[in-house]
Chain A
Amino acid sequence: AQRVTQPEKLLSVFKGAPVELKCNYSYSGSPELFWYVQYSRQRLQLLLRHISRESIKGFTADLNKGETSFHLKKPFAQEEDSAMYYCALEGSQGNLIFGKGTKLSVKP
C-alpha cells in the first residue's frame, strides 16, 4: 500500500535552532516525493521535490530508500517558517498521497 507517515503533529522550536520534520513512506518502486507547505491564510504550495535536489528557503530533504524516509531539515529555523508542512508521495494516478501534516511553530 502507498502511504505517507508524519509522526509528529506539532513541532515547536526556538528561532535559530535546527529543525527536522520527519516523513516515512511506503511504496513499491521508485518513489517521487515532495514537501508542501501551507502558511497561515495561504494556500497549499510546493516547497521542494526530491528529484530536484534543491534547497528552498534553507530547507533540504534527502531521500533515504533504505529507511524509506524523506525528512525535511533546516539548520537555523526562522519565525517565518511557522506553518503546516505536508510530506507527499506521487501516486499511480498522478495524484499526491499526503501525510497528516506537521505544524511547525518557531518561537522568538
Chain B
Amino acid sequence: NAGVTQTPKFRILKIGQSMTLQCTQDMNHNYMYWYRQDPGMGLKLIYYSVGAGITDKGEVPNGYNVSRSTTEDFPLRLELAAPSQTSVYFCASSYLKGVAAYNEQFFGPGTRLTVL
C-alpha cells in the first residue's frame, strides 16, 4: 500500500501559468480532500470529494478546480497562477465521514509550490 501519493514534490510557476497537482490513493477511500498550508498557518480546505463524480468547495476554493473521475485520483488544477497561491498543498483521504472512530485522514507528503 503506497497510501496517498502526490506529484510533483516541488514546482516553481510563473504568474499566469497553469498546472495540475496530482493525488492518488490506493486505499479505496471515498472521501478525498485538498488542503493548502501557508507559512505559520494551519491547513485550510480547498476542495473535497465524497466519491467519484462528486466534488464541492471548501474554505478557500478561488483560483482552483478539481475533478474526480475515479475513486483513486483527485487532481487539483491551478488555471492562472498567482503569488498568493504560493503554499504547500496536501492531499488527504479517509474512508468515512462523521464517524470519528473511523474518520482518520491519511495525508500525502505534500507539494511545495512557488509562484513568481
A interface list, Cβ under 8 A from B: 4, 9, 32, 34, 43-46, 49-52, 86, 90-91, 93-101
Contact = CB atoms under 8 A, between A and B. Distances in A.
Interface of B: 31, 33, 35, 40-45, 48, 50, 56, 58, 90, 92, 94, 97-98, 100-101, 103-110
Nearest to A49: B100
Contacts of B92: 96
Contacts of B105: 46, 96
Contact of B101 (A52, A93, A95): A52
Nearest to A91: B45
B100 A98 contact: no
A21 to B, nearest CB: 14
**Most chain B Cβ neighbours within 10 Å, of A50, A95, A96, A99:** A95
Contacts of A93: 45, 48, 56, 58, 97
A43 B94 contact: no
Contacts of B56: 93
A45 B91 CA distance: 12
Interface of A is mostly: mixed
A43 B35 CA distance: 14
B42 A86 contact: yes
Given A43-B109, A43-B110, A44-B90, A94 B43 contact: no
A94 B93 CA distance: 10
B58 A95 contact: yes
B100 A99 contact: no
Contact of A4 (B35, B42, B97, B110): B42
Given A93-B45, A95-B45, A100-B40, A45 B103 contact: no
Contacts of A90: 98, 100, 103
